[in-house]
Structure 1
Amino acid sequence: MYALASQQDVAFLMLLNFSFLEDIIYNGNALSVVLASRIAEDVREMPVISDVVEGMHWQRE
């Protein structure tokens, strides 16, 4: 699902849902990520709230 998320910048609202169905440890759990994706930035940030993962970063090529 995409939606405009900013009045000044070009950004989209991203909603990502992950369901763990057949894992021994995380069976039945889900992870949801909600972020504003700013398209014009070289480095984008995808914050994930968890005990293990603090955030994922990637460089646009």
Structure 2
Amino acid sequence: MKQIVHYLPDWEVYMQAFFVFFVPYVIWKLFNHIPVAEEKNENEIVKEKSKTATGPSD
């Protein structure tokens, strides 16, 4: 009788799957964060300019 452990792949297969799926995901997240941060900074700059142009609001 064959055991279930016999059908599990070696640890190299799990490491390959980790590199194939997880590493590109991390890289995508890092580079995806950059445009969001730039857009956030631009929105803050526009808000600051509109506050100085209209003066302090009470």
What interval of TM-score do these two structures reach, taking the shorter chain for normalisation? under 0.3
**TM-score, structure 2 as length reference:** 0.20
**TM-score, structure 1 as length reference:** 0.20
Structure holding more helix per residue = 2
Higher relative contact order (CA 8 A, sep 6+): 1
